[in-house]
Amino acid sequence: MRADIFCRVVDNYGDIGVCWRLARRLAQGHGWQVRLWVDDLHAFARIQPGIAPGAARQVHTGIDVVHWTDTPPDLAPGDVVIEAFACDPPARFIDAMHARPPVWINLEYLSAEPWVESCHGLPSQRPDGLVKHFFFPGFTAATGGLLREPELTAERDAFQASRGRQESFLRGLGLADGQLAHWQAGGRLATLFCYPHAPSAALAQTLAHQARPTLLLVPAGIAPGLQDSAGGQLRIARAPFVAQPDFDRLLWCADLNFVRGEDSFVRAAWAARPLVWQIYPQQDDIHLDKLDAWLARYPCPPQAQALIRAWNRPSEAAAATAAALPAALAAPAWADWAAAARAWDASQAARPDLGDTLADFCAEMSRKR
């Protein structure tokens, strides 16, 4: 298959994060020839070293990367066209699709809401005769599943079993001896990747008063000024933005991951460690319905659910997070949460991954033409 994937970067890194993982999955896992169209190469370059932000066209790990501008290059469509999150391809490109209509996929946002099962795979007939199919990532057999590389579990388990490999990795991120000492002495390691409205100061202040020490790793530029909340039992270290495989390893090192959006959320779930998800905010708080739909499936204890809900309610987030966090970290809730994270990883890993289901769907649609 020859595929075009279109990506508009709306949420800084999540959109390109999903599209880049999908492009590699289809190219490396299925032998597809993939052309990835991206409108913001600067955001792309932050998560993938070697991407040239000023290049109109470049090849990275066998994938053709096209800078998607207001005057896109005149390229013939491939066998499959994937628009990520309803970003319509350029009008001229769509016109060219009429000559040899491809399998056209609208890759939707991830949701645990039941209605996505009835919409997954449905066609949409356009007035111009082209057909677009809706493809939903999800958590059940009636959806497209989640992106996951075949070797991921074995790599993760080997990494998490080696304290030495974890320490070497953390040193490679630039962590100082004093920061690592906090972790080496039995402290908790947590990561924080959040939106600006997250109650990060309340989180830090609460961790500072916990009995167990915590080393909190925060990417550069996230929660600016948070270092002012360090002290007591809390140490804060800044981590650089890293390529996606190293971001996975960072999540694997941690006991607890605070993540945001879609791509980081899925990767934190594959870490098989407790996670707190900050869902992308939407008008009229409809994102909270999506959060509740996921929590109805995620088997964590009530204390963890209370913390996750508090983290996502701006009007009451600071006070609610400060109240919910100690209960979620205390025994036996913490042990139950850790067991739930492992069970969730195992149950989702038993399903086909998004790359496989998408490739199979496109092959089937091609045969029917």
Q: Known catalytic residues?
A: 15, 262
Amino acid at 277: W
Query: Judging by DSSP bridges, how do beta strands 103-107 and 123-125 pair with one another?
Result: unpaired
- For residues 306 and 337, the answer to whether their CB atoms sit within 8 Å is no
Say how far apart CA 276 and CA 159 lie, in whole Å. 22
- For residues 130 and 97, the answer to whether their CB atoms sit within 8 Å is yes
Read off the tokens for 97: 């699709």
For residue 359, give every residue at least 6 positions away whose Cβ sits within 8 Å of its Cβ, in sequence order, or none: 1, 26, 29, 30, 32
Say how far apart CA 27 and CA 194 lie, in whole Å. 30
Amino acid at 93: F
Tell which residue, 140, 19, 129, has the closest CA to residue 82.
Answer: 19
Instruction: Compute CA 133 distance to the chain's CA centroid, rounded to the nearest angstrom.
Output: 23
For residue 270, give every residue at least 6 positions away whose Cβ sits within 8 Å of its Cβ, in sequence order, or none: 148, 152, 156, 248, 251, 345, 349
Say how far apart CA 243 and CA 139 lie, in whole Å. 26
Tell which residue, 358, 286, 287, 329, has the closest CA to residue 133.
Answer: 358
Per the listing, tokens 């013939």 go with 76
Starting at the edge strand that comes first in sequence, how are the strands of the sheet with 234-239 ordered?
234-239, 214-219, 188-192, 256-260, 275-278
Neighbouring CB atoms inside 10 A of 280's CB total 15
Query: Judging by DSSP bridges, how do beta strands 33-38 and 2-7 pair with one another?
Result: parallel
Tell which residue, 84, 117, 72, has the closest CA to residue 18.
Answer: 84
